[in-house]
Amino acid sequence: MAAASLIRSAFSGLLRKSTTIKTPVACRLFTVALQQKYHTVKTIANLYNTSDLQNGVSRSRQYATGPVRKVTPQDIADRVIKKPQFVRNYSHGPPLTIDIIKSRVLLVLQLFDKVNPEKLSLESHFIQDLGLDSLDHVEVIMAMEDEFGFEIPDGDAERLLKPKDIVQYICDKEDIFE
């Protein structure tokens, strides 16, 4: 109904009434305006014909806008193959050993700005030997949380004053024994 009134109004404005001749005369702008109106109607029809579903696969509604081709098995296969699959793949990291944990802890501490790598060992005390303050100690604990992918509670973090303590805590947390 709305499309019919849109087309009727489009064509009624295209003809002008002549004062000398009783029949309507098509003006020069008739063809330009007709092409513009046709393009507008075709664009609106195409917008109504295609709409996206929630999963990103587009579907077509068939209105009378022109010849419509039949859906082929290849079109169906392409649509199914392009459909996103919502599958979670679970895995865990490489197996941890005490030596790997020691090397990772020391590497993180060596890359820390305020730690002198020459003074660093597993027995070094963060505050007394390495000269770190409490904020630096918190940053070290946060770096260990990022490295190993789990959170260390504040109560446990206060007890971790040496790299050896961190290694032992991570081994206990990950159930790694000698």
Specify whether 28 is located in the same domain as 76: yes
Catalytic annotation, pick one of 75, 78, 133, 146: 133
Domain that holds residue 74: 2-82
What CATH number does the domain containing 145 carry?
1.10.1200.10
| Overall domain count for the chain | 2
Percent over 70 (pLDDT), the chain: 65
Q: What is the pLDDT of residues 56-92, one digit of tens each?
A: 555 555 555 556 678 888 887 777 777 666 777 777 7
Q: Is 16 a domain residue?
A: yes
Residue that is last in its domain, among 27, 51, 82: 82
Q: Is 87 a domain residue?
A: no
For this structure, is 78 an active site residue?
no
Q: Is 92 a domain residue?
A: no
Specify whether 8 is located in the same domain as 45: yes
Q: What is the pLDDT of residue 54?
A: 46
Q: What is the pLDDT of residue 41?
A: 78
Q: What is the pLDDT of residues 5-29, one digit of tens each?
A: 656 665 565 555 555 555 555 555 5
Specify whether 64 is located in the same domain as 125: no
Specify whether 9 is located in the same domain as 75: yes
Which residue is it, tokens 């081709």? 69
